[in-house]
Structure 1
Amino acid sequence: MFKTKPVLFLISLLAIVSLHQCSVFDAVSGSASNSLSRLGFSLSDSTSALVTSLSKSTSGISKSSSEDDEDKKKTSEYKSDVRTVLSLYYQHPSTQADLEADLALVAKEYGLSNWKSHPATYIAIGQGMKQAGGTVSDLEIVVSKVSRSNETAAQLIQEGYLSR
């Protein structure tokens, strides 16, 4: 999480600030005392700035982590909806154009302008096929047809089917 050197630096810094407040330094002459006071003030400011900087950094990490969690949740929900569309398509066969229109509507609901460009779509299609009771021979037919125009999509459909 933290690198060793910044932590050691912070510990050393805190030790110096603590020593500055010791009574041993009270016996030091006026000019040395003034120098140490200025040093203590500078260290205090530096420590405060360091703590503020670390706080902002961890806040940024926390924020990006929660944004990642939100993206994962959104992708998971999207895939679930695509699986549902595929299930319905298997139960109530329709045209390929109807299926593509339904997939486009689901994608639009999630703010995706082109469902065909998202790998999650193809994984969910494979999962939806299996969820709906599609057989391995159904999978092979779809993969064969899709691979003629998009090998990557065909692989993702197969991956999705096999993952369930």
Structure 2
Amino acid sequence: MKIFLILILSISTLIAKNEKLTIDAVYFQAEDSRNVATFEINVKIQMGEDRLNAQKLELFFEIDKDTNKKVVSKYEATKKADFEIYSNGKLYKGSGDKIIYEPKKDEYNIIGNAFLHEVNEDRKVYGDHIYINQLNGEARVKGNEKKPVRFILNIDNKEKQKEE
């Protein structure tokens, strides 16, 4: 039950910062001993314009060293996980078997059947594992022998347009 109260306090903190986190699901369970809150069945998260959907979401908590309060350290979405995120004026859509977000590091890991689409410039990448760090701009994509990394981008060929 402590996790439930901490979750409510975390959400209240976000609201105080004018960021509203909404989580809808059919089932909720809190495990104080593991510092985990689990949401299952038709899970939908919304914070600002960002959205995440899955059949299962686990929130992992830790103690913030500065405030000495429990905060969400990791979001782990599985089972039909997909998202839409706005970052630096761009819209990103993605999906994977598992999506992990660590807010403190601002890192995303999309694992298994990983797909990421940067909508504004219509760039797409597919692989087994996509890693993105929003703080330093680093991105890595891993594939395998049977399913290599695939990167698709539309190139605007102005020279070709001039000839026509």
TM-score, shorter chain, exceeding 0.5: no
Higher relative contact order (CA 8 A, sep 6+): 1
Compare CA radii of gyration and give the structure with the larger one: 1
Q: TM-score, with normalisation over the residues of structure 2?
A: 0.20
Q: TM-score, with normalisation over the residues of structure 1?
A: 0.20
The structure with the greater share of residues assigned to helix is 1
